[in-house]
Structure 1
Amino acid sequence: MTLIASAENGDGAFHPPSILDFFPPALFHIGPLEFTRINLAQFIATAILVILLVIGTRRMRVVPGRFQSIIEMGMDFVRVSIAHDILGRKDGDRFVPLLMTMFFMILCMNLTGIIPGINIAGTSVIAVPLILAVISYVTFIYAGIKKSPAGFFKNALFPSGVPPVLYLIVTPLEFLSTFIIRPVTLTLRLLMNMIVGHLMLVLFFSATHFFFFGIGGGWIPLGAGTLAFGFAFTLFEVLVAFLQAYVFTILTAVYIQLAVAEEH
């Protein structure tokens, strides 16, 4: 540990991860707005997603080819496994465009964290998870009000079967749980997972570079170990990228289902 600490104070051969990674310098400016490496990751993810979906759905065939089959498999996963299973066919079809957009957008932006040269997820700054959480929150309230204009907030804040005197305790808790904690947890769950994933990958590969090229010698086997951990954690990050997209989307569907249910 002393050797590593001394190297940090020397030529900078060891570069540990830092929270400053999420505040990169501007690549260029568009008026008063800065375009950073994270914005580039978001743009690349969006462009790749649009291109794949356009190519995959431009010439649909009754007997799909391999690429069309992959696109349809992804769409069917969201439509059937999330929208229909949770909301039912009728409500699921109403909200499947939103759920599908959320799932593939989050997945593609998460995966930019393992792309060499970018190495940071487009969802690792709070703006993207927060905007998606706000959309989920607004959709949940919209669905509830449309289903029951007069009873949505009453059912949410004053659940049936509770003795009236307990509403003094239950109602504030229901308000916090339903209207405050839900969007906050949606935002932080996605954000924190992407931040931690980036920091761990940077730590492993920076340590590998340091052990191989910074001090070398008998430290090279340790560098091989950190390299192996880095590759293993990269594969794990692919799984996390998918799971976070799935969890965010399925929670949005669950919240909508609670809003459109007869009693919630």
Structure 2
Amino acid sequence: MIALALPAQDSGTFTPPGIEELHLPAIIPWGAADGFSKQMLLVILSVVIIGTFFVIAARKQQLVPGKLQFAGEAAYSFVRNSIAKDIIGGRDFMKYVPLLFTLFFFILVNNIYGAIPLIQLPTFSHVGGAYVLAAIVYVTWIAVGVRKSGVRYFKLATVPSGVPFYILPIVVPIEIISNFLVRPVTHSLRLFATMLAGHLIIMISGAGIEYLVMQENVLLKGASVLVLGGAIAMYMLEALIMVLQAYVFTLLTAIYIEGALHADSH
């Protein structure tokens, strides 16, 4: 943050950090591309963290679980019962639990990075990762629908039952755009935008606090305490949003799969 605030002090005005500050230099640059970045390192680290935790939690299964086993079972049960079973239904949900389980904890860990001192970088504040996850989900629920209903699925997904035929020329294009174009875009951008906005707010607050503290005016120095209080409140709110966004992304995935499975009954 020092590097962000010093130029503002030298010029006498506060220059807040921008989106470009999120694009850190590559750890291992190569060619004309960005190279191996901090975001890539954190994504790999998240896979190691998640895998290690659940392997250790499940390694010594006991009838009366220890703390680690209890935490692992509670985490699994949350996704299995509260998302997969409740949304998809008791008959079909089990085959989709691995996907939903992986999505939830992968997104959760990569979001929580933004609340950890020194790391302080939610990897989904870069849109590329959100696009990839949304694309995986997009292909998955379409494949589920086609497998269940065949090519007829596309008709079921775009032609609502009970709609008068003379309204269909208006309704069908709207359904096509909504289901096959807007849905994957909003699914990814919702995750990306909240992580980016929250991270920018924390960065601006930190730079603002440093700028005020370095001023000679006593009132401005005192105002830094108020900004610090607001920054702490925003930090806690952002931590909550990090968890909620992992839940929302996974919940929407379950809803899309359920819609593809039961398209003929909607």
TM-score over 0.5 (shorter chain): yes
User: 1:197-246: per-residue Cα shift (whole Å, max 9, x none)?
Assistant: 00000111111122223546332321112122222211111110111011
**SS of corresponding position for 1:34:** coil
The answer (yes or no) to whether the contact 2:215–2:221 under 8 Å persists in 1 is: no
RMSD: 2.2
Task: Call closer, same or farther: CA 1:54–1:13 in 2, change over 3 Å.
Answer: farther
User: 1:41-60: per-residue Cα shift (whole Å, max 9, x none)?
Assistant: 32333322222122212222
**SS of corresponding position for 2:118:** coil
Pairing 1:20–2:20 present: yes
User: 1:156-214: per-residue Cα shift (whole Å, max 9, x none)?
Assistant: 12222112222211111110011011100001100000000000001111111222235
1:8 — aligned with what?
8
User: 1:52-106: per-residue Cα shift (whole Å, max 9, x none)?
Assistant: 1222122222211112111211111110000000111232101010001110011
- CA distance in 2 between counterparts of 1:126 and 1:211 reads 32
**SS of corresponding position for 1:29:** coil
The answer (yes or no) to whether the contact 1:87–1:257 under 8 Å persists in 2 is: yes
Unaligned runs of at least 5 residues, structure 1? none
**SS of corresponding position for 1:161:** coil
Q: What amino acid maps onto 2:265 in structure 1?
A: E
**SS of corresponding position for 1:46:** helix
Task: Kindly report structure 1 stretches of 4+ aligned residues shifted beyond 4 Å.
Answer: 11-15, 30-33
The answer (yes or no) to whether the contact 2:8–2:211 under 8 Å persists in 1 is: no
- CA distance in 1 between counterparts of 2:106 and 2:247 reads 11
**SS of corresponding position for 2:10:** coil
1:51 — aligned with what?
52
TM-score normalised according to structure 2 size: 0.90
2:265 — aligned with what?
263
Q: What amino acid maps onto 1:18 in structure 2?
A: G
**SS of corresponding position for 1:165:** helix
1:83 — aligned with what?
84
Q: Identity, % of aligned pairs?
A: 38
2:115 — aligned with what?
114
TM-score normalised according to structure 1 size: 0.91
Residue-pair matches, total: 260
- CA distance in 1 between counterparts of 2:112 and 2:197 reads 14
- CA distance in 2 between counterparts of 1:205 and 1:70 reads 34
Shift of 1:12: 9.1
**SS of corresponding position for 2:35:** strand
Q: What amino acid maps onto 1:27 in structure 2?
A: I
Equivalent runs, 1:44-193 vs 2, <5 Å:
44-193=45-194
The answer (yes or no) to whether the contact 2:122–2:199 under 8 Å persists in 1 is: yes
- CA distance in 1 between counterparts of 2:37 and 2:96 reads 33
- CA distance in 2 between counterparts of 1:67 and 1:15 reads 46
Which range moves more in the overlay, 210-219 or 84-93?
210-219
